[in-house]
A and B are shown apart, each in its own frame.
Chain A
């Protein structure tokens, strides 16, 4: 029999119509599932009362698998078939995975995404994540006594299209309907923002087991907006364990350790770190296989000192995120702490000192993301109370654009734009009679296509033949609320259309995004010069083609001598355009234009005569204009 929950006044659900929705924090180390019960967001624990589910899957030869603590305990015994931290492989190609050789898994290269060979067969990261999600779904359905209508699943703000799509695919495979993918910091802000009903700018400081993320959010009039994000994908609580581990080695003057002893001491280090937070001093005692005995006392003072550089390393991305959002510390109204590692007092102090205020920490930092996701799921499932009518906005981490002539990037949607968003721009053809064009979608901050990430290519065919620059092609970019991109191109006179939904074969890692951003700043001046050069080269090519086509059709208007001089100027421009000197190209173009002035005037006379003769001048009126042009498909 179903057990009842207390509803808001006047909102008792009709029998069999209560919509069960959950929020899922699909984490690298641990995952959680939460739901709204009697108006309160709560994490659903397993039958032993444990809220966390380790994100670890153990595969057996008979094809079965188990997920969670049991799988985790087998890691040392059967490392090849116990898959941990699969989130790092989501939407990734084999070359994207760093330190592959140090992992115990058997990787297999596959188009789009890497695969892992296990006793139960070859598994993709999507299937492995689906096993984790399925375990959470079964737990939630048993607890809520019914089928779920849907789930909100959280992803790092940095996840690109491929990683988001992979997460959605995993959910589908696990039998979950995804109401929305939600950025983790946004979920945390929901958990706090709504409970405290406060408006203003918030910073979300998320220090997890192996990653650090900082996000600047703006909450106003019930609208959430992510203003900027930043972080370090290789910094987390584990690094603090490592520092204690190194301190133990030094303080106890230990000889180089066996693998078992190292694992034992690393566990001691983690336990000491966790014990230290509430107690102020932690004893570390261990008897090693080598016979050596460790008996030390770790104090808060020592720990603070040895971890100082790590704490400082988290503050750099914080400063940068603030700069990206064009804000200063004084603008930040509150700081939300997420991730178990933020329990450490030195982190609390450093963050408090930087923002000149006490960080918010009255919710469990391990659960806060799942709690916020559950609140969002509850609303999206339609269980909303009056006045809860709020929206949610996120941003795209890197600019989206397309390739124009000369390998230049035309940005359509700039970085940090809030999503969902749609932007369109008009483009035109490069050659006379061009009936098709290639649309190449790229992501990145640099000016040249070769420095950005290629996301997708498609072709628009069936453009009616016109002179170069006459066609009007409207290219629209649309990013939906989940951060997925759709691009369409439409030729306005003939109405032909082509489009693509971008599911890139594989995406960008946090590091790549960070380094692409860094690159773009370091190369701003360089890029501007290179762009100007490319533009001059494209312009020169356009001029040459225009003159050549005029020579072909109206060459009879010229004397042999005039013609020879024009051809000479063309040849000169052609050689200069191959060079790197923008000034020389411009001068050569001026020369050619000078030589053709007379010719142009005669052509004009001729076409006017033609017009008086009753001929159609539409073709002549549509002269090339300043619209950027797109190349023909190869």
Chain B
């Protein structure tokens, strides 16, 4: 079981954290909603939950709640630029079917 950040993603997260001035790491998660069933969650973390599973990737602490982990296992979070747009992208091997915009998916 593992979830990782690409080097580029880790660099961006680290710099956002410095500018934000607080926080212990990055939370990845899923919740049920959206047009294809499950949607990603991507948040800063100020306080860890007891049922969080912790990973460390390129110096950034990644926290995932135990319920979300099966949906995300093996995921690599990348930071990319597509045309003018830039942001984070989940490369998730569990996804069978995603909605057109990629904000929600099915397993």
Q: Give the interface of A toward B (CB within 8 A).
A: 1-12, 14-16, 37-40, 44, 46-47, 139, 142-145
B85 to chain A: which residues have CB within 8 Å? Answer: 2-3, 142-145
- Residue in contact with A39 in the complex, picked from B20, B29, B41, CB distance below 8 Å: B20
Kindly state the separation between the CA atoms of A8 and B20 in the bound complex, as whole angstroms: 10
Does B43 make an interface contact (CB < 8 A)? yes
Closest 5 CB pairs of A and B: A3-B87, A1-B102, A15-B34, A15-B103, A143-B84
Interface string of B7-44 (1 = CB under 8 A from A): 00000110010011000001101010111000111111
Q: List 9 A-B contacts (CB under 8 A).
A: A2-B102, A6-B88, A15-B33, A15-B35, A38-B87, A39-B44, A40-B19, A47-B84, A143-B84
Question: Is B84's CB under 8 angstroms from A142's CB?
Answer: yes
Q: How far is the CA of A68 from the CA of B13 in the complex (A)?
A: 33
Nearest neighbor of B33 in chain A, beta-carbon distance = A14
Task: Judge if B82 is at the interface, Cβ distance under 8 Å.
Answer: yes
Check: B57 CB closer than 8 A to any chain A CB. no
Binding site for A on B (CB under 8 A): 12-13, 16, 19-20, 26-27, 29, 31, 33-35, 39-47, 80, 82-90, 98-104
The reply to whether A2 and B42 form a contact with Cβ atoms under 8 Å apart is no
Using known A-B contacts A16-B34, A16-B35, determine if residue A4 contacts B40 with beta carbons closer than 8 Å: yes
Docked complex Cα distance between A269 and B107 (Å): 64
A12 proximity list for chain B (CB < 8 A): 29, 31, 39-43
Instruction: Across the interface, name the chain B residue whose C-beta is closest to A16.
Output: B103
Residue pair B89, A9 in contact (C-beta under 8 Å): no
Q: Smallest CB-CB separation from B105: which chain A residue?
A: A15
> Is B84's CB under 8 angstroms from A139's CB?
yes
Task: From the candidates A5, A6, A14, A37, name the one contacting B34 in the complex (CB within 8 A).
Answer: A14
Q: CA A12 – CA B44 in complex, angstroms?
A: 10
Cα distance A11–B103 in the bound complex, in angstroms: 15
- Nearest Cβ distance between residue B63 and chain A, in whole angstroms? 11
Are A8 and B33 interface neighbours, CB within 8 A?
Answer: no
> Are A4 and B45 touching (Cβ within 8 A)?
no
Is there an interface contact between A6 and B101, defined as CB atoms closer than 8 Å?
no
Min Cβ gap A384→B in Å is 15
Cα separation A40 to B13 with both chains bound (whole Å): 12
CB A566 to nearest CB in B, in angstroms, measures 83
Q: Which residues of A contact B41 (CB under 8 A)?
A: 7, 12
Bound-state Cα–Cα, A44 to B81, Å: 13
Q: How far is the CA of A139 from the CA of B85 in the complex (A)?
A: 10
Tell me the complex Cα distance, A269–B29, Å. 56
- In the docked arrangement, what's the CA distance between A14 and B41, Å? 9
Residues of A within 8 A of B26 (CB): 6
Chain A residues within an 8 Å CB radius of B16: 6, 38-40
Identify which of A14, A40, A44 contacts B20 (C-beta below 8 A): A40
Whole-angstrom CA separation of A12 from B103 in the bound complex: 11
Report whether B46 and A9 are in contact in the complex, using a CB–CB cutoff of 8 Å. Answer: yes
Question: CB-CB < 8 A to B43: which residues of A?
Answer: 6-12
Q: In the complex, what residues of A have CB within 8 A of residue B100's CB?
A: 1
* Most chain A CB atoms below 10 A, which of B12, B19, B84: B84
Q: How distant is the Cα of A12 from the Cα of B40 in the complex, in angstroms?
A: 8
A1-B101, A14-B33 known; 16 new pairs, CB 8 Å cut-off, are A2-B102, A3-B82, A3-B85, A5-B88, A6-B16, A7-B44, A8-B43, A8-B44, A11-B43, A14-B34, A15-B39, A16-B101, A38-B16, A38-B87, A40-B19, A47-B84
- Report yes or no: A9 in contact with B104, Cβ–Cβ below 8 A: no
**Cα-based distance from A625 to B5 in the complex (angstroms):** 79
CA distance A38 to B29 in the complex (A): 16
Name which residue of chain A comes closest to B12, CB basis: A38
Nearest Cβ in chain B — how far from A383, in angstroms?
13
In the complex, what distance in Å separates the CA atom of A265 from the CA atom of B41?
Answer: 56
Which residues of the partner chain A approach B82 to less than 8 Å between Cβ atoms? 1, 3
B7 to chain A, nearest CB (A): 17
Knowing A6-B16, A8-B44, A12-B41 are in contact, say whether A37-B87 is a contact too (CB < 8 A). yes
Say whether B87 contacts A142, CB under 8 Å. no
Bound complex: CA A596 to CA B68 (Å): 95
Q: Which residues of B contact A46 (CB under 8 A)?
A: 84
Q: Which residues of A contact B102 (CB under 8 A)?
A: 1-2
* B-chain residues with CB within 8 Å of residue A37 when the two chains form the complex: 87
Residue on A nearest B27 in the bound complex, by CB: A9
Neighbouring B residues of A16 by C-beta, 8 Å: 34-35, 101, 103
Complex interface: chain B residues within 8 A of A6 (CB): 13, 16, 26, 42-44, 88
Residues from chain B with a CB closer than 8 A to the CB of A38 are: 12, 16, 87
Which residue of chain B lies nearest to A138 when distances are taken between CB atoms in the complex? B84
Closest A residue, CB atoms, query B39: A15
Residue of B nearest to A11 (CB): B43
Distance (whole angstroms) from the CB of A143 to the closest CB of chain B: 4
| Most chain B CB atoms below 10 A, which of A7, A14, A44, A145 | A145
B101: nearest residue on chain A (CB-CB)? A2
Are A4's CB and B35's CB within 8 A?
A: no
Distance from A584 Cβ to chain B, minimum over Cβ atoms (Å): 74
Q: How far is the CA of A143 from the CA of B31 in the complex (A)?
A: 26
Q: Is the CB of B88 within 8 A of A3?
A: yes
Quick one: given A14-B33, A39-B16, are A5 and B87 in contact (CB under 8 Å)? yes
Closest to A145 in B: B85
> In the complex, what residue of chain A is closest to B78 when comparing beta carbons?
A3
By a CB distance below 8 angstroms, the chain A residues around B12 are 38
**A4-B34 in contact (CB<8A):** no
Contact of B45 with A9 in the complex, beta carbons under 8 Å: yes
The answer to whether B86 touches A3 (Cβ under 8 A) is yes
- Residues of A with C-beta under 8 A to B46: 9
Query: How many whole Å from A182's CB to the nearest CB in chain B?
Result: 23
- With the chains together, A46 CA to B83 CA distance in Å? 10
